[in-house]
Chain A
Amino acid sequence: MSSVDSKKGVGDWVSGVGSDRTIAYLLIAPTIAVLLALTIYPLIYSIKVSFESSSGTATLQNFTRLFTDQFFLSALSHTFVYAAIALTVEFLLGLGLALLLDSQIRARNVWRTMLLVPMMLPPVVVGVVWRLMLNSNFGAVNGTLKSFGVNADALTWTASPKLAMASVIIADVWQWTPFMFLILLAGLQAIPREPYEAALVDGSTAWQTFRHVTLPLLKPAILIALLLRTMELLRVFDHIFILTEGGPGLATETLGLYIYRTAFRFSNFGYAAAMSFVLLLITNIISAGYIRLLQTRET
């Protein structure tokens, strides 16, 4: 994962000296204390809450309810649809842009900087931007379509049950494609020249070079970019909350929004906690999968 580990060994300050070891523990202790208080303790607290009914008695109800709750199941499927589509589009666009900017091109750093702008913005601002773009009365998207003579009246975007999901995915793709692009470009630029020269000498075509040289060497960067994006996509909240609040109806309600609504609108903290463990479980399984892929490559 990091070069820190590989540098370990020679010349390390071994823990033999008692006072050094004490210093080390003293330095680490505050961090451990804060993280215990702010992640582990809440997690344990959450487990306790999830086994309590609203009146405070012990119950399994919050977990059995998961299997029969239509809202939960639909939120789950929305989450997967959202994550799968956004991840695919962001990856393909990001890879395309990264390859483009890695090829010989002038003013690369200028393009790169400008392309990264959306990624920096607060998610709330991205929500505002796309509310303004997609508004069916005065939004720039429909306005532009109309000025080209397209009848855009039927495109109500965030207000339409059919297009709402597309709208929130557009906003996500717009903000996070630059992230994929940035990580993949860094990966591409770290690939040494020699394999390319060898491929050139062997007379391989551009596609063969891409398939057999670029892709395998880029694999670690690809996996890390996909891992980080997948984690974020599964827990998506901000964009959807601002753009549609899960609506219209429940058309864009993902797990994150449903948990929020259950806890903070209906004050059903036990059920919200139970659902949040499902989300935690899903993200853990998927990240474990990615990490296994990363490790198999290294050995």
Chain B
Amino acid sequence: MSVRSPTVREGKLRSLQPTKPFAYARASDTAFEMEQMKPVRFLKYAVIIIALLLTLAPVYWMITISFKREVDQFALPPKWFVFTPTLEHYADAFINRSFGQYLFNSLFVAVASTICALVIGTLAAYALARFRLPWNLDRKLALWILSTRMFPAIVTAVPLFLIMRAVWLVNTRVSLIIVYTGLNLPFVVWMMRGFFAEVPRDLEEAAMVDGDSRMGAFWRVVLPLVAPGLAATAVFCLIVSWNEFLFALVLTQTDDAMTLPVGIAGRVTQYGIKWGAMSAAAVVAMVPILVFALSVQRYLVRGLSLGAVKG
């Protein structure tokens, strides 16, 4: 994440070490930290702890609701820690209700659309990173591809619904796979274009001198080198497809096509909400995403800013 390691930074600083607490000096040197006035240090950590509480308590609260019996859910004062845990809501959501089916739909759509976007997008990214086309076409195409991602989803949701309805694809998983492929494609192209640009082209040229074809060099030399980037890009696509709500809401309204977010939302907005089952479904929707997201932390900044900020 950090561009330079702190130790390198500090080497230069030693002679200039400030004598008073200097809010914008930046080093994680322990000895240096000790020099800070105690109250300042205390305040810093206090603010961080409060921020963490505000960040994590709501999620924790939802998790407890999913494990609480109904008497405990409605208890006053709220029971944060002590309650009898139960798995009844998970059983209710995934056995009695259709959340198992929604979960499968979500997985299926996310994986299929990610594979499609990766295959199509990686090829384009390689071409845009390596070949110079006449009239700067390569740059213009790359920018155009990026600009398609800037469309608000609601702008394309209306016509896409009408188009999908006309070709009888509404309420199918296929419609979502198609839409999510398009949604992820610009992202794949930009991320992978950056990763390809970091591979020295001498490597491919050496392979080609040895008799490999252009695409052979791509397949055997370049692709293995960008594998970590490819994996990170795949995880980002999975997260986007898994989390997406608007298109899923518009395009899938039946149990055999609906994704998990739409299923959950359907329960939230009805009367007589089963809070436990809903929380259980939400926890299940959340856990794989958190695991995935943690695995791509290194690429998070780059992914979220489409390569505009290098983390």
| Interface flags, A103-124, vs B, CB<8A=1, else 0 | 1111011011111111011111
Give chain B nearest CB distance to A298 CB in angstroms.
12
Question: Per-residue CB proximity of B300-311 to A under 8 Å, as 1/0?
Answer: 110011011111
> A138 touches which one: B76, B132, B153, B182 (CB < 8 A)?
B76
Total number of B residues with any Cβ neighbor in A under 8 Å: 122
Contact A259 B154 (CB under 8 A): yes
List, in ascending order, chain B residues with CB within 8 A of A49's CB.
158-159, 162
Residues of B within 8 Å of A89, CB to CB, are none
Main SS of chain A's interface residues? helix
In the bound complex, do residue A24 and residue B3 qualify as a contact, i.e. CB atoms below 8 Å apart?
no
**Chain A, interface size: which category?**
35 or more
Q: Is the CB of A28 within 8 A of B127?
A: yes
Chain B residues contacting A116 (CB-CB under 8 Å) are 293, 297, 300
Contact residues in B for A130 (Cβ distance below 8 Å): 58
Closest to B75 in A: A138
**B282: contacting residue among A38, A128, A193, A220, CB under 8 A:** A128
Is B62 part of the contact surface with A, judged by Cβ < 8 Å?
Answer: yes
Query: B27 contacts the other chain (Cβ, under 8 Å)?
Result: yes
A12 cross-chain contacts in B, Cβ below 8 A = 130-132
**B binding-site residues for A, Cβ under 8 Å:** 1-3, 9, 12-13, 16, 18, 22-30, 32-33, 36, 44-45, 47-48, 51-52, 54-59, 61-62, 65, 73-78, 80, 120-121, 123-124, 126-134, 138-139, 141-142, 145, 148, 150-163, 178-179, 181-182, 185-186, 189-190, 193-194, 197, 201, 214-215, 239, 242-243, 245-246, 249-250, 260-261, 264-265, 268-269, 275, 278-279, 282, 285-286, 289-290, 293-294, 297, 300-301, 304-305, 307-311
**What 19 additional pairs, Cβ within 8 angstroms, besides A23-B215, A117-B56, A264-B161?**
A1-B307, A4-B142, A5-B139, A28-B127, A34-B181, A35-B148, A38-B179, A39-B148, A41-B163, A43-B159, A132-B62, A147-B78, A186-B309, A196-B26, A210-B24, A224-B305, A241-B245, A276-B155, A284-B150
A–B Cβ pairs within 8 angstroms, 6 of them: A122-B242, A122-B261, A128-B62, A128-B268, A140-B80, A279-B155
